[in-house]
Amino acid sequence: MTSTIAPTPREVSLSLVDGVAKLVAGDESQVDRLAGLYAEQTHVVYWGAPDEPFRSRDELCAHFARVPARFSAPRFRGFRADNIRVHETGDPELIVAEFTYVGDGDGDEPPMNLPCCFVFRVRDGEIVGSRDYVLGAG
Amino acid sequence: MTRTPQATFNELVYRVSALVAGYSGQVQRLAELYAEKTHVSFPMTPDAQPLRTRAELRAHFADVASRLRGGVAGMRAEDVRIHQTTDPEVIVAEFRYQAGQPEGGLRLPNVFVMRVRDGEIIESRDYSASAA
């Protein structure tokens, strides 16, 4: 045990949801902060991406580093999480976040609207697993 | 003893599997899993309107049955993970509808967030990859 109190699963999940929105909106300082929310060994699966899961903090760091370039289109401006509902479960490590990522849109591009449901397992303040149900937005 | 949220979910996916296999008699039984006034939405399906009454659910399931005339044999829910939330009425159910072989068959991942009161679904958000 460390002397500091680890953030709760709820805090960690909200921090992830918010940080991803900021990253997509262009804040590259989020890359390291987001990777730091995960355990060294983790297991992250994206729905709709049949690729191999992300299994380490390093893989996630590389993934997050690619995000700003992928999501630079105007419709991602002002990207933020809206309508957040967090569900605590009978398993103290397991938490579910429903939310919608929205963007402002720009000119001819309609506003972004991306419903998500992420199921996290958080241990000692770090994400050790998640299943991220979201349709592809890239 | 009223049906628990978990039992309600299990009955729902069992009956949906039977419905798509061609058992249209499930339409009424499925509708009866929902309260007279309910709210069922499909966040990942663009332009899908929420269903607000048992009658609308009945029409929805009848529509599914007629569109799949001939039936999808052997569809089943797999990898079911039901999470009881700290709200006793609310469960989160992750699962996948699967038909055919694991490789190359039909695979539809889903997450349903359901509120069940007195054994009837009064609210559900059905996140479904079938929109993809």
Q: Which of A48, A96, A135 minimises the CB distance to B92?
A: A96
Asked if residue A1 is part of any domain, the answer here is no
> Which ipTM value was assigned to this complex?
0.90
Q: Which CATH class is domain B5-131?
A: alpha beta
Which pTM value belongs to this model? Answer: 0.91
Q: Determine whether the interchain pair A90/B125 forms a contact, defined as Cβ–Cβ distance below 8 Å.
A: no
Residues A89-134: pLDDT tens digits?
Answer: 999 999 999 999 998 877 777 788 899 999 999 999 999 999 999 8
Domain residues for A100?
9-110+118-134
Of A89, A115, A117, Cβ closest to residue B85: A89
C-alpha span between B25 and B90 (Å, rounded): 28
Q: Please list the pLDDT of chain B residue by residue as tens digits (132 residues).
A: 789 999 999 999 999 999 988 888 999 999 999 999 999 999 998 889 999 999 999 999 999 988 877 677 788 899 999 999 999 999 999 999 888 776 667 788 899 999 999 999 999 999 997 643
Place of tokens 């979910």: B9
| Torsion, Cα of B111, A128, A43, B103 (10° steps) | -40
A62 within some domain: yes
Q: Is residue A75 part of a domain?
A: yes
CATH number for the domain including A44?
3.10.450.50
Q: Where are the domains of chain B?
A: 5-131
Strand, helix or coil for residue A6: coil
The two three-digit tokens of residue B74, written as one number: 């052997």
Phi, psi (rounded to 5 degrees) for B119: 75, 10
B85/A117 touch (CB, cutoff 8 Å), yes or no = no
A123 found inside a domain? yes
